[in-house]
Amino acid sequence: MLAAFTAALDALRKLGVEIVEIDEPNRADFELSNAAGLLVSRCEAVPFQNGLLGRAGERSYRPDVREQVAAAGEVRAVDYLEAQRFRGELVERMAKLLGSLDALVMPTSRVVAPPSELGDDYLLVLSQNCIPWSFIGFPAVSVPCGLAGGTGLPAGIEFVAAPFDDGVLVALVSAVEASL
């Protein structure tokens, strides 16, 4: 996967894109975004689901969804508010960072795509690099960038831009697709 990602970066460099390594977002940002994003999304889904299906509708959920809804009902308000506070701080830091860069680039996933029958087992692992951008509402896009060494499974490259800079993302993914 890393080889496919590196090849995509090399292709962008050949097209004149300047790639600069930076220190943020850091591992803690990703870990906190994933935890806070899951907490917030589950808590916010419960009132929607209750309005749609009523509280009795829980019986129609798949077991994993039923567990998530039950867990969301146990979240303390202070934890929800702390997650929202972190969201606001991360929005500010990433907006400032993207004020000096056109976009962030990273592998879409930290692991090679699993066989489709194992997809549910890998859902959180596969989405770790994607959740922060949904959590803070920044535009992001992922495209294939090659096959992961020896597996024949796809690797992806993800680009993130500042709000309303979707055109930058379209240009970057078009360049990757054209060059690979």
Question: What is the signed CA dihedral for 165, 169, 171, 173, rounded to 10 degrees?
Answer: 180
Using DSSP, state whether 180 is helix, strand or coil: coil
Distance CA 156, CA 147 (A): 9
Alpha helical stretches, state H, the chain: 2-14, 27-53, 63-72, 77-98, 123-127, 131-136, 166-179
Would you say residue 161 has pLDDT above 80? yes
Q: Which of 37, 165, 178, 151 is nearest to 102 (CA)?
A: 165
pLDDT, greater one: 122 or 16: 16
Residue 13 φ/ψ, nearest 5 degrees: -60, -40
In tens, the pLDDT along 112-160 reads: 778 778 877 887 888 899 999 999 999 999 999 988 777 788 889 999 9
Q: Identify residue 137 by its one-letter amino acid code.
A: G
Q: Are 172 and 103 in contact (CB under 8 A)?
A: yes
Q: Token pair for residue 45?
A: 């889904």
pLDDT, greater one: 148 or 23: 23
Record the pTM: 0.87
Distance CA 158, CA 106 (A): 5
